[in-house]
Amino acid sequence: MEGFDLITGVPWNAIGVVGLVAIIGMSFIKGWIYPKGYVDTLREDRDARILEVRKDREDRVREYQQEVSFWREAAQQGDIALAAERAKVTELLEVARTMEKLLNALPKVGEDA
């Protein structure tokens, strides 16, 4: 109802009590006025939902950060273990080369020395 002014557009001296109740009822139905308690309840519910969503989001962020820290630490430990394995393999290769040289230096069976 654009352009309708409730104050000046209604002949207040002619409507009576029934008309006044009808106007108030229609105002509720149309959504022009709301009870203060209803609006306060809606705001409290909205604020509670906002707080709950924020808390859930912060919890999820904290969980993701812990998971990232776990995987970062696991990767670092994996790198340390890989370096240790490489060192062992290098040492074993050195031992194998030394053994090969020793075995090659021995006289072969059936050869005259």
The answer to whether position 113 is within a domain reads: no
The verdict on 91 and 45 lying in the same domain is yes
The answer to whether position 108 is within a domain reads: no
State pLDDT tens for residues 26-64: 877 777 777 778 888 899 999 999 999 999 999 999 999
The closest alpha carbon to 84, from 59, 76, 21, 45, belongs to: 76
The verdict on 52 and 20 lying in the same domain is no
- Cα 39 to Cα 46: distance, rounded to the nearest angstrom: 10
- Cα 85 to Cα 91: distance, rounded to the nearest angstrom: 10
Amino acid in the structure at residue 63: E
Q: Give the pLDDT mean for 9-19.
A: 74
The verdict on 60 and 29 lying in the same domain is no
pTM above 0.75, yes or no: no
State pLDDT tens for residues 64-74: 999 999 999 99
The verdict on 16 and 66 lying in the same domain is no
